[in-house]
Each structure stands twice: as C-alpha cells, then as structure tokens.
Amino acid sequence: MKFLARSIFVLALLYGLVFALADAYLLHSGISLWGALAFPIIWGGIQYLAAPWLIEMFLNIFWDDAGTQLPVRNREFIEKLCMERGLKVPRIGIIDSGTPNAFSYGRVRRDARVVVTTGLLKILTPEETNAVLAHEIGHIEHWDFAVMTVAALAPMLLYQVYVVTEKISSFRAIAYTAYLCYLVSQFVVLLLNRTREYFADHYAVDITHAPDELSSALVKIAYGMVRADGEYQRAKEEGSNEEKLLWTRERRLGGALALMGISNLHSGRSLALGSDPTEAAAVMRWDLVNPWARFYELNSTHPLTALRVRELNRQGEGAQQGFRYPLPQDQNIRWGAFPLEFAIWAFPLLCIGALGIDHWLPGILGYFGITMPPKAEPLLLMFAGCAWIIRVAYRYRGKFQDATIGTLLEDLEVSQMRPRAVRLRGRILGRGESGVSWSPDLVLRDDTGIMFVLYRQTIPFARFVFGVNEAEGYVDQDVVIEGWYRRGAAPYVEMSKITCEYHPVHRTYSRWAQCALAVAAIVAGWTWLSYLVR
C-alpha cells in the first residue's frame, strides 16, 4: 500500500508542476495553450499504441508459443499465478543474449508480454527465475507501462509551455521557470520509475513468499551484466572481428534491455565489480550508508541493488525468514562531512550559474524581484575561482599509499569529494568503458579484483592524444598506478601517474590545470572589478 500511495503522490507532484506553469501562463496572457499541449498528448498516445510494435521490430524476440523454450516449472508458475490473479497468461518471449535481464510491456493487461534472456535462464535457479517472472507480472497487474507513459507526458508538456512562452518577451520569466520545472520533472519521472520497481519487488514477494530468491536473482543479474560488459571490453581490444561484432551486439542489446528490464548496469555495477555474488553483501554496504550513493541514484531508472536487497530482507525478516545476503546491522546513513563536501562541490557551480544568469538572462532575476548590484558579476567570477581552488584542494589530497582493489571496494567513507590517495599494482586488461580504439581510460586487475582507471586531463585534447599515442602500449603490461580512488555511480581510480617497465612514466596534470584556470578567473574578475570602480 505504501508504494501505491508513493506512486500517486509522485504523479500528483508531476502534474502539479504542469498545472502551475499552465495556470501561470493563462493568467498572464489569456492565450490558449490547447494547441501546444495537445501535440505531446497526441504524440504520447501514438507512442503508447506503437511501442509494442516498435519493441518487436528492433529486438529479435523468439516467441515461445509452443511452450518448449521456457522451463516447465517456470511456465507452470506463470499459468498458476495468472489464474489466481484473474489475468490472461502473457505471451512469453525469449531473447538470445548472454546478458541476464527480463522485462514486460504491452498496452493493456490482455496483450501484455514478458520477455527473458537466455542469459537469465542460464544463471538463475528455477525459484529465482520465478521470483523475476512474478516481478514482471507485477508490472503488468499494476499497469506500469501505462503509468510510466502518462508520467513521461509531464516533461513534454512543461517543455511545450517553455517553447510557447519563450517567444513572448513579456513572459520570458514564465518560460525560464517552465524550463527549470522541465529539468526537475525528468528526475521526478526517474523517481517514479524506481518506485514502481520497488512496488513490483513487493508484489513478487507477496506471490512467492521468498524474498531471498529475488535478492539472489538481483545480485546475480547485476554480476552477470558487469561480467558481460567486461567481456565486451576484452573483445574490443583482443577479440577477433567475429568476437567484436558479437559483443558489440550484446552491448547494444544489453543497453536497450536495461531501460525496460528488472535491473541495469548503472544501479548494480558497484556491488559486482571485482566480487563474486556470494561476497556481495560486504561491498553493498557503501550504497546503504554513504549519502553520496543516494545523490548518484537520482539519475537512475532503477534503485540501487543494495537498497532493493535491504527492502527484501526487511520483508523476509517480517515473515521470520532468513536471508542469503545478510547486510550489516548498522545501515544508518553516515552524514558526517557530507553537507560540507556537497557545499564545496556545488558552490563554484552555483557561482558560475548565477554569473551566467545575471549576464545573459537578467529578466529571470527581475521577475522574482532580485536585483544584483553593479559589481556582482566580477565578484561572482572571483568567488567561483576561489571556490574552485578549494574544491581542487579538497578532492586531490593525501599521500599515495599501497592498496588493493578488494579493500578499496569495502571503503565506506570514500566518495567523489573524499578520495583515497592510493598506489595499485596490477595488469592492464584493456581500454576503459568507451571501448573505442582512442579511449584513454584503462581497466586494471590485481589479485583481488578489477578497477576502472580514469585518465582525466583539463588540457584540451590531452586525453585524445594519450588515447591515440600511448594507451595501447600499457595493455597487457604490469603497471603501478598512483591516483585517487573515488566512488561515483561506480568505483574508479583517477590516475595521477602510471609506471611500466617498458614505457616511460606518464603523469596527468588535471588538478594543476584546474587551479591555473581558477587563478585566471580570479585575475580576470579582479581586473573587471577594477575597471568598474574607476
């Protein structure tokens, strides 16, 4: 019931934004918005009707109408569940893909379909597969394909308000506010999508009475998706042309499925990177206790896997059942220095944003009754430069110390802003996530796990030059990397220096280049201010 109430609240919030902007426009102009608002509604209706056809056109789905591909225990489970819930048995489809996932779609309950990959059937037990199928049936029974279509209209309507009012000079402030609400509404849609995933998880547990099976499935799926992504990176660097084509197809297919599936790479990769599924509980703790994890989750279609496992554990505990992934007892968010770190992260960006608005869009501030003093712009530029220097000093600190990937993954305090200065020894497996031949980023493996190594440079074209001329020389070589371990959506090390027996030492200068630009901003602001004072 709490998930239903939360969904209704989020939908109300979305359409509250739309109504507020539309009402403000009508009050100020008296011009009808029917034409502008009708277009996204009609377009959304066409998308809703055509979506199943488009999915089947772009995805190679084998329909198991004969009942010979899906295991008998799983098909019997679906048939029994649908009979008990008064639902028509959905058409079952199978996609030949090693990336484990499952999704459901349709227009109404009666034409709903459930699709699973061969990779999912391979890595999950029948009981775990039943839990995943129940989750997808939950989406069907809750009309989630319709709910999310309706929710997706809200950003479109807000954008239409922006487009119409932006052309009228006296309503520019409304247009800018509409655009701001449009940006916010996209995050609210993601919040609703995450809420529906929790709702479907809860439904699956009510049906199967086995929260542990769904927890295990989620962890295995996350681990399998990361492993498939790693195979793609390996094939791009070492594989034959045939392998490259195969894994490129897998990568694209996995990305398409992630938008609709029970899980995605973004929400689960941190717990799987460098860990066996049976050891995932220790790695998941960061997602539970570090407030930065919730900040990164804002841009995800799916909840963090750790948070889903925690919710499932609570349901199992309420039913007096054990759980396969016993998370640490202390799961309270450790706020600690987070407010300070967030302020250091955000303040220079706010100064730059305020400078841009005051210089190029002063009407917005005037609409809200804000009047900036004549010297505000150079002061904001100086503040931005000073704040950026503080930001760099905070993010690049510490003395490099020996570490292993396994121990880093269990560090609860690290974040984008609070790094660990580390020295890692291992072998470079290949290029980074982009997988292209000019990628400057690398993948490092030691005896305890695998880590993504980010090559960051503020100097223009420096990343491209390193990727083209030097990065390949480190592949399949034993190296020593010094840098700053951070955790964002996934763990990574930002490289400071890489040392290899067969190549010269290579250093990055991102922090110094950032400081130089910040100093230049301070000098420019001071010169500007001096000119205004004259």
Residue 468, classed as helix, strand or coil, is helix
What's the token pair of residue 277?
Answer: 């599924």
What's the token pair of residue 411?
Answer: 């560090």
Q: What is the pLDDT of residues 322-381, one digit of tens each?
A: 666 667 666 688 898 999 999 999 999 999 999 988 888 776 666 666 777 878 999 999
For 381-524, strand residue ranges (E) read 401-402, 420-431, 442-446, 449-454, 478-487, 491-500, 503-507
Q: Please give the pLDDT value at position 397.
A: 93
Distance (Å, whole) CA 34 – CA 37: 5
Catalytic residue list contains 231: no
Q: Please give the pLDDT value at position 274.
A: 44
Which residue among the candidates 136, 141, 213, 250 is catalytic per the annotation? Answer: 136
Q: Please give the pLDDT value at position 120.
A: 87
Which residues in the chain come in under a pLDDT of 70? Answer: 1-36, 39, 169-170, 223-282, 318-326, 328-331, 363-369, 433-437, 489
Report whether 363 contacts 169 (CB < 8 A).
Answer: no
Distance (Å, whole) CA 140 – CA 113: 9
To the nearest 10 degrees (0 to 180), the angle between helices 305-318 and 265-272 is: 80
Q: What is the pLDDT of residues 33-44, one digit of tens each?
A: 566 677 677 777
Distance (Å, whole) CA 66 – CA 343: 59
Residues β-bridged to residue 92: 114
3.40.50.720, 2.40.50.200, 3.30.365.10, 2.30.42.10: CATH of 340-534: 2.40.50.200
Count of CB atoms situated within 10 Å of the CB of 92:
21
Distance (Å, whole) CA 124 – CA 484: 36
Query: What order do you get walking across the sheet with 61-63 strand by strand?
Result: 61-63, 91-95, 113-117, 102-105
Q: pTM for this structure?
A: 0.75
Count of CB atoms situated within 10 Å of the CB of 245:
12
What's the token pair of residue 271?
Answer: 């717990």
Q: Please give the pLDDT value at position 240.
A: 56
Distance (Å, whole) CA 526 – CA 515: 16
Q: Please give the pLDDT value at position 192.
A: 93
Report whether 71 contacts 130 (CB < 8 A).
Answer: no
Which backbone phi and psi does 437 adopt, to 5 degrees?
A: -65, -20
Q: Where are the domains of the chain?
A: 2-208, 212-318, 340-534
Q: Please give the pLDDT value at position 32.
A: 59
3.40.1190.20, 3.40.190.10, 3.30.2010.10, 3.30.1360.120: CATH of 2-208: 3.30.2010.10
Cβ-in-10-Å burial (0-12, 13-18, 19+) of 54 comes to exposed
